[in-house]
Structure 1
Amino acid sequence: LSDRAIGELSGGQLQRVLLGRSIVSRPQVLILDEPNSYVDKRFESHFYKLLDEINKESAIILVSHDIGTVLAMVKNIACVNETLHYHPGADVSEEWLGEKYACPIELIGHGDLPHRVLKKHGHE
């Protein structure tokens, strides 16, 4: 891919290039905003394994709306919904999420986690 112009890369290829560029200087903190947006599902688990390796040398702040995936990967959680809600650790209950967001949120995951479909619900 080194011979290609950056505009010729797919979204997933571009995400990988940007991640590589961001870690080449070995930063103390890496801030990633929706880093898996253009990464296909086949590469996503490898992508998070890469982040796990990077996290051995750099702190990572990961911004994401993908709560189910993120909870399986993080050490601590800070949820933002009009205000900042810090939750030490990654063991976040559905009740805690519902309280902070005033809306029932169910965690959806793959593998050993149960699959759920959200029912229609009302909230203000």
Structure 2
Amino acid sequence: MNHSETHNRSEPAISITDLSFGYEDRQILTEVNLAVYPFDSVCIVGPNGGGKTTLMKLIIGLLTPEIGEVLIFGKRPEINKKLIGYVPQYAVYDRQFPISVKEVVCMGRLGGNMTGRYSTEDWDRTMHVLGEVGLAPFAERSFSSLSGGQRQRALIARALASGGDILILDEPTANIDQESESHLFELLGELNQRMTILMVTHDVGFASKFFKRIACVNRRVVIHPTSELTGELIKEMYGGDFRMIRHDHTCSSEGHRHD
């Protein structure tokens, strides 16, 4: 059963309280407070080095806060990590390695079991999520034969295979064309009906087409409704001029809006 459906919607799926984190003498995040609720969709934006990737690693449990805490449905990430599906920015793989699409997706079922032995339930779940992302006909194909957009959907399927309730994506539109990007956001819209979705992106303009809220990360985290996304806000978020792209209204480098 979907954990989100059994959980009070007024209680956060992800709760970050008074969090600070740094590497040696460099402070990355300071006094971060953030609540993401079941079935929310949050776009995480900010300048390079502002702490976006670090924040993701803290949520997933790859890093531990120096101060404060991160909770996933009320428990530490290492306890509830199976409730999170993660799609990394880059998937490193050997193009010559003969691995099929369904084998890549079924890796999402491994969890702590690295024996590679899958059950009938694992394969059934794999084919189910391949159907969800529109790749069931490609299950037996080589993963390396897929287009960039298809590979991205296969990696989302791998994240979904674990059966979690939170989907986190790191720059999923970085290496795909505009048509594939549109299909990606259609898919995310469908998944958001049953999952909480967080996405790190530099494509700020697309945020208002899908996400309910924007989390601006630059050492601290400030949340805005997407309706507040303006040229001036973009400049404030990025500490300078920044061009909005793929948006109904384009922001010029001077921050003025035009049709």
Scaled to the shorter chain, the TM-score interval is 0.7 to 0.9
User: How far apart are residue 18 of structure 1 and its match?
Assistant: 1.0
The answer as to 2:143 corresponding to 1:6 is yes
The alignment yields a C-alpha RMSD, in angstroms, of 2.1
The answer as to 2:183 corresponding to 1:46 is yes
User: How far apart are residue 64 of structure 1 and its match?
Assistant: 0.4
User: How far apart are residue 106 of structure 1 and its match?
Assistant: 4.0
Preserved CA contact (<8 Å) 2:149 2:181? no
The answer as to 2:155 corresponding to 1:18 is yes
Query: Identity, % of aligned pairs?
Result: 35
- 1:90/1:116 Cα in 2 relative to 1: closer, same or farther (>3 Å)? closer
Give ranges in structure 1 of 5+ residues lacking alignment: 120-124
Name the counterpart of 1:122.
Answer: none
The answer as to 2:237 corresponding to 1:100 is yes
User: How far apart are residue 25 of structure 1 and its match?
Assistant: 3.7
Q: Deviations over 1:11-43 (max 9, x none)?
A: 222111111222234321110011122322122
Q: TM-score, normalised by structure 2?
A: 0.40
Q: TM-score, normalised by structure 1?
A: 0.78
User: Aligned ranges for residues 105-120 of structure 1 at < 5 Å?
Assistant: 105-110=242-247, 113-115=248-250, 117-118=252-253
**Alignment coverage as a number of residue pairs:** 116
Structure with greater proportional strand content: 2
The answer as to 2:162 corresponding to 1:28 is no
- 1:108/1:49 Cα in 2 relative to 1: closer, same or farther (>3 Å)? same
CA distance in 2, matches of 1:84, 1:96: 15
The answer as to 2:187 corresponding to 1:68 is no
The answer as to 2:222 corresponding to 1:86 is yes
Q: Deviations over 1:78-109 (max 9, x none)?
A: 1223x133223112222222123221234333
Preserved CA contact (<8 Å) 1:32 1:61? yes
Give ranges in structure 2 of 5+ residues lacking alignment: 1-137, 255-259
User: How far apart are residue 45 of structure 1 and its match?
Assistant: 1.2
Please state whether the residue corresponding to 1:46 is helix, strand or coil. helix
- 1:13/1:108 Cα in 2 relative to 1: closer, same or farther (>3 Å)? closer
CA distance in 2, matches of 1:98, 1:50: 30
Superposition misfits of 4+ residues, deviation over 4 angstroms = none
